[in-house]
Chain A
Amino acid sequence: QKEVEQDPGPLSVPEGAIVSLNCTYSNSAFQYFMWYRQYSRKGPELLMYTYSSGNKEDGRFTAQVDKSSKYISLFIRDSQPSDSATYLCAMTSQLMTTDSWGKFQFGAGTQVVVTP
């Protein structure tokens, strides 16, 4: 079983709809949770970053973490065709310090298509 599970999609939604993405994980040591967006033939770019449980909002994007359920979500409101991309969740037990680091575990990525 993979440490991080993510449905690969594709997820197709009409413009203006809410996009709901999620990942589940098995390692209870994970504390830092990230969402990356990857456009076709580009590198992943950091979209949202959350520490521990709770919600974080940035414009049209909301990230939620439920550590008790080992479940994280990303919501995109008022979706636009420019949001069409693959969204990867990532998580780690710790960020880098001078003498230790936590390896990032990535989900498989969910392909999102927003149709005009």
Chain B
Amino acid sequence: DAGVIQSPRHEVTEMGQEVTLRCKPISGHNSLFWYRQTMMRGLELLIYFNNNVPIDDSGMPEDRFSAKMPNASFSTLKIQPSEPRDSAVYFCASSSWGLPVFGPGTRLLVL
């Protein structure tokens, strides 16, 4: 089992640029989560998908953030335009009606 796969692992970009983060959940898992982790705010849930359908996106900071899950094996989180305050580690997690299994994260730095 390869676990949750995220790419890229590191991203450095300039303010105003579009950033796309990618996630491949564990095969057979029907739930997918995007979390953001910062020193100031800890681990925050951004959005939750169940069977590819967004169920709760109340944690998405603003319209600059969007997430999609076109199929059971792929999800993207897009930030457009990016801002320095978006700098954080973004985790994707998946689960099968239970406890989230986290990926390794994408470390994003917006200059």
Contact = CB atoms under 8 A, between A and B. Distances in A.
A88 interface: yes
Interface string B65-82: 000000000000000000
B42 A95 contact: no
B95 A96 contact: yes
Contact of B102 (A44, A101, A103): A44
Contact of A101 (B42, B43, B48): B48
B102 A43 contact: yes
Interface string B39-58: 00011010010100001100
A113 interface: no
> Chain A, interface size: which category?
20 to 34
Contacts of B105: 41-43
A45 B99 CA distance: 10
Nearest to B4: A43
A108 interface: yes
Contact of B99 (A49, A106, A107): A49
A30 to B, nearest CB: 14
B56 A95 contact: no
B56 A109 contact: no
B97 A104 contact: no
Interface of A: 34, 36, 41-46, 49, 88, 95-97, 101, 103-104, 106-109
7 contacts: A43-B91, A44-B91, A88-B42, A96-B95, A103-B56, A104-B45, A109-B43
Given A41-B105, A43-B104, 10 more contacts: A44-B43, A45-B102, A46-B99, A88-B42, A96-B50, A96-B98, A101-B31, A104-B45, A104-B100, A107-B42
